[in-house]
Chain A
């Protein structure tokens, strides 16, 4: 039977400071979000679509460069139908002058360009995305609360859901603070962060449960410290491999996946932090104790499980 070793790092020693930090970060993020809002991308807002006809087939890279130099932001340039037609979509609201001005800018370096058509375009994602996905998210969090509550114990349920909210709010806060563009790829990144953070939290929680059942000495704080220390090399390696991928995407990936990788970078760092300093911290604050997990009579479903959980029979036969 394992003992509390001297190598245990006192993670929870700074838990008050961490609580203060997390709480401040969340509150600040909410304030920034309320003031600044999110800088929503073309996917969400829609904008203007303009079709140009060139006399000679232009190089799209040059067209992009010209528009960039002229100060346009968030535009997409595509061949449309044939190599002489170019479609430009940009986030700017439609007005009559916009298309003419852009045509003038494109003519500046001597190209012969006609503006064919300019119209406003709506958002790429429907309203139902906001409504149904928001609702789906809330339901998903609730189910996690219930499931973890049943598999572990109610306190663990709370401790696995709140860090997720923490992570999402902080990432959104950072995006709002710097006014980075929030588009569909960032939304996908956010969902990936939730998956990662949840995974991370459950792994730590699992070890805490196991140690509460296995170790007969030590108070809650010591056992949690010990569990986090034990899972530390796993945490470092998994975040390590993930961060390695993300750094490659961030440094080499170009602007198309820039925002995606930055959202994930922040998210993975915050997610790893939160499974220790939000999840475990919450467990201590809620007064988690050996009795929550061991004594069968005291707590519901979780307490009735065998003291040390065994993998199912089919796995043992391997």
Chain B
């Protein structure tokens, strides 16, 4: 028994460890506390003089400046501590006046060569470092409007089916639907029909100025509240899914008041980026291109997103909206062009089949609808005021010929880039909003834990880790040292994987990682106990090492695979933090199996392998010791 690894195996282990090291490395470069200076108007540029003025002001206040850099059109001043950052902001703001905006920021310090291979540090969570706070308002009126339109078309269809003659029936002012009848009889018929089938409406029979019978339908207050609650909940879920696809981003998404949603994102460096992460508050519609001879009342003209000069005439009728999308994946076609594969839910699939069956060789458009708030200058009572205006922007992202009847799965091609395909897939997958939303406020938010709490938390984690190392060293001597190296590698690989997933670290998260590492010694403990057992039976050292590893393998394998199964199912079924926890657990199991079985074996082989060994330094009383 020689206990030697072939060279290739050592190289594979080494390469894995080196890659892990490189991707874990950025975490050693913590973000700097910084203050970002931007012009209050986009035409104002920050120049060297402005920056110097700010630095001088800080020096006078005795706040140490780590570095001041100019990256036009912005300036960035790095300071050493969070307290310095907090007190520096008003100082700078005062020194520069209202021409400029000073904002709290986190500046990355990752070296360029690391960033160029996509390595970056993990973010610190809202509890440790705070982040950005957004307040979004759900447009309840349009949620209501949307719902009423569905009711309106349903009621109209039923009236037609019952051969009750009516006029009107569209959604009018004050969220009412008004139906006009020629005689009492049809009014009564309609009244009964609607009363029986739509008890959420309050009905009112009147006679209008022209002597016609009118039936007005108004939603009950209870139903209105129900619709609004539903819209808010739906949007809340969508936002949660969008910001936390893997469950490791640790955001805070909660309802605030009647119609608003708070979103807090940790470790975001500027709010523009955060808004991109949050995704545009967008929706999608699939519509057919209008025929040449279609009446203009049933069509609408929209521009293309990438080329506003180009327009297309589309039918008013919507086939499906983003709400019916069950899944969307970015992929490549046979020519290597990016595409998005879309799967619709059953309702969406049925509608798509019905609509495209008779529309082969016609073109279908994907319409992208974006809601945003713009600040515009307006003259109000002779004074210029900045007014926030809500704008809806509809544009076509793709217009493609239907080759055959589409079912619940199809794809969108003709996209510009992989990035665009990825973004579209994300938006589709995360679901669309039940009602439009507008950003109403954005602010930075400080850490939710006090510094004292953070300090003691971090200290306890360090002490805990050190104690595990000490325990192993005392109990297993040299083998304990090997296990400790394996543990350190395990920690490094875990950090590397979490960094690649750009996970967010909260205090309980850090405690969890150290705990995972504490539990990961299990593999080594199992192996070492087996080796000791073999030695007690009088097996020579080299064979004992081999038997220890191979016999413990079965236990380690069974135990880890079973736990991995649980983690994978929790990931697939769970949501939010449960999902995030499952991710960490999966990675932890895989890295600990790798380090426990391979890394520690490699080290032991290097030390003991290929030579005659009389005694193993594994601690405890041994038969041959």
CB contacts under 8 Å to A, within B295-328, are: none
Q: How far apart are the CA atoms of A148 and B551 in the complex, in Å?
A: 19
CB contacts under 8 Å to B, within A192-209, are: 192, 194-196, 198-200, 202-203, 206-207
Is A249 touching B511 in the complex (CB atoms < 8 A)?
yes
B445 in the interface (beta carbon within 8 A)? yes
Which 5 pairs between the two chains have the least Cβ-Cβ distance? Answer: A136-B573, A122-B255, A79-B446, A248-B464, A254-B456
Is B451 touching A61 in the complex (CB atoms < 8 A)?
yes
Min CB distance, A119 to chain B, in Å?
4
Please encode chain A, from 170 to 191, with 1 for each CB lying within 8 Å of some chain B CB and 0 for all others: 0000000000000011011001
Q: Find the A residue at minimum CB distance from B553.
A: A311
B236 in the interface (beta carbon within 8 A)? yes
Q: Find the B residue at minimum CB distance from A164.
A: B566
Q: A187-B578, A254-B452 are in contact. Are A147 and B254 (CB under 8 A)?
A: no
Q: Find the B residue at minimum CB distance from A123.
A: B254
Using CB atoms and an 8 Å cutoff, list the residues of chain B in contact with chain A.
5-6, 9, 86-87, 89-90, 127, 130, 133, 233, 236-237, 240, 252-257, 260, 262, 443-457, 459-461, 463-465, 467-468, 471-472, 475, 507-508, 511-512, 514-516, 518-519, 521-522, 525-526, 529, 533, 537, 549-551, 553-555, 557-563, 565-567, 569-570, 572-578, 581-582, 585, 597-598, 601, 605
A101 / chain B contacts, CB cutoff of 8 Å? none
A315 / chain B contacts, CB cutoff of 8 Å? 549-550, 553, 597
Min CB distance, B603 to chain A, in Å?
13
Is B565 touching A144 in the complex (CB atoms < 8 A)?
yes
Q: How far apart are the CA atoms of A299 and B529 in the complex, in Å?
A: 31
Q: How far apart are the CA atoms of A242 and B519 in the complex, in Å?
A: 6
Which residue among A122, A187, A251 has the maximum number of chain B CB atoms within 10 Å of its CB? A122
Q: Find the A residue at minimum CB distance from B507.
A: A256
CB contacts under 8 Å to B, within A126-148, are: 126-129, 132-133, 135-137, 139-140, 143-144, 147-148
Q: Which of B475, B529, B573 contacts A133 (CB 8 A)?
A: B573
A188 / chain B contacts, CB cutoff of 8 Å? 508, 512, 577, 581
Is A264 touching B515 in the complex (CB atoms < 8 A)?
yes
Min CB distance, A289 to chain B, in Å?
21
Chain A interface bracket (under 10, 10 to 19, 20 to 34, 35 or more): 35 or more
Q: Find the B residue at minimum CB distance from A236.
A: B525
Is A122 touching B254 in the complex (CB atoms < 8 A)?
yes
Q: Find the B residue at minimum CB distance from A47.
A: B254
Some 28 contacts from A to B, beta carbons below 8 A apart, are A79-B446, A81-B445, A119-B257, A121-B254, A121-B262, A128-B575, A135-B573, A143-B565, A144-B565, A148-B562, A188-B512, A192-B581, A200-B559, A231-B529, A238-B525, A241-B471, A241-B521, A242-B515, A242-B518, A245-B464, A249-B461, A253-B457, A253-B461, A254-B455, A254-B456, A256-B457, A260-B508, A318-B605
Q: Find the B residue at minimum CB distance from A2.
A: B537
Is A143 touching B445 in the complex (CB atoms < 8 A)?
no
Interface of A is mostly: helix
Q: How far apart are the CA atoms of A28 and B576 in the complex, in Å?
A: 31
Is A129 touching B254 in the complex (CB atoms < 8 A)?
no
A72 in the interface (beta carbon within 8 A)? no
Q: How far apart are the CA atoms of A309 and B511 in the complex, in Å?
A: 37
Is B452 touching A61 in the complex (CB atoms < 8 A)?
yes
A95 in the interface (beta carbon within 8 A)? no
A210 / chain B contacts, CB cutoff of 8 Å? 554
Q: How far apart are the CA atoms of A251 and B456 in the complex, in Å?
A: 10
Q: Which of B446, B450, B570 contacts A136 (CB 8 A)?
A: B570
Q: Find the A residue at minimum CB distance from B3.
A: A318
Which residue among B448, B471, B573 has the maximum number of chain A CB atoms within 10 Å of its CB? B573
Q: Find the B residue at minimum CB distance from A254.
A: B456
Is B562 touching A252 in the complex (CB atoms < 8 A)?
no
A199 / chain B contacts, CB cutoff of 8 Å? 519, 522, 559-560, 562-563
Is A234 touching B445 in the complex (CB atoms < 8 A)?
no
Q: How far apart are the CA atoms of A135 and B458 in the complex, in Å?
A: 34
Interface of B is mostly: helix
Is A139 touching B256 in the complex (CB atoms < 8 A)?
no
A49 / chain B contacts, CB cutoff of 8 Å? 256, 262
Using CB atoms and an 8 Å cutoff, list the residues of chain A in contact with chain B.
2, 46, 49, 57, 60-61, 64, 76-83, 85, 87, 119-129, 132-133, 135-137, 139-140, 143-144, 147-148, 151, 160, 184-185, 187-188, 191-192, 194-196, 198-200, 202-203, 206-207, 210, 230-231, 233-234, 237-238, 240-242, 244-249, 251-257, 260-261, 264, 309-311, 315-318
Q: Find the B residue at minimum CB distance from A251.
A: B460
B533 / chain A contacts, CB cutoff of 8 Å? 230
13 more CB-based (< 8 A) A-B contacts, given A120-B257, A318-B549: A49-B256, A121-B255, A121-B256, A123-B254, A129-B577, A147-B562, A147-B565, A203-B555, A241-B472, A244-B467, A252-B459, A257-B460, A318-B598
Q: A61-B452, A311-B550 are in contact. Are A238 and B521 (CB under 8 A)?
A: yes
B445 / chain A contacts, CB cutoff of 8 Å? 78-81, 87
Is B90 touching A82 in the complex (CB atoms < 8 A)?
yes
Min CB distance, B406 to chain A, in Å?
29
Q: A147-B562, A203-B559, A238-B519 are in contact. Are A191 and B550 (CB under 8 A)?
A: no
Min CB distance, B580 to chain A, in Å?
9
Q: How far apart are the CA atoms of A127 and B572 in the complex, in Å?
A: 17
Is B576 touching A129 in the complex (CB atoms < 8 A)?
yes
Is A203 touching B576 in the complex (CB atoms < 8 A)?
no
Q: Find the A residue at minimum CB distance from B550.
A: A311
B237 / chain A contacts, CB cutoff of 8 Å? 126, 128
Is A257 touching B565 in the complex (CB atoms < 8 A)?
no
Q: A137-B570, A196-B519, A238-B519 are in contact. Are A79 and B86 (CB under 8 A)?
A: yes
Is A119 touching B256 in the complex (CB atoms < 8 A)?
yes
B459 / chain A contacts, CB cutoff of 8 Å? 252
Min CB distance, B92 to chain A, in Å?
12
Is B560 touching A253 in the complex (CB atoms < 8 A)?
no
Is A46 touching B254 in the complex (CB atoms < 8 A)?
yes
Q: How far apart are the CA atoms of A34 and B518 in the complex, in Å?
A: 35
Is A252 touching B460 in the complex (CB atoms < 8 A)?
yes
Is A249 touching B601 in the complex (CB atoms < 8 A)?
no
B443 / chain A contacts, CB cutoff of 8 Å? 80-81, 85
Q: A122-B256, A315-B550 are in contact. Are A246 and B525 (CB under 8 A)?
A: no
Min CB distance, B253 to chain A, in Å?
7
Q: How far apart are the CA atoms of A83 and B444 in the complex, in Å?
A: 10
Q: Which of B257, B565, B605 contacts A140 (CB 8 A)?
A: B565
Is B601 touching A318 in the complex (CB atoms < 8 A)?
yes
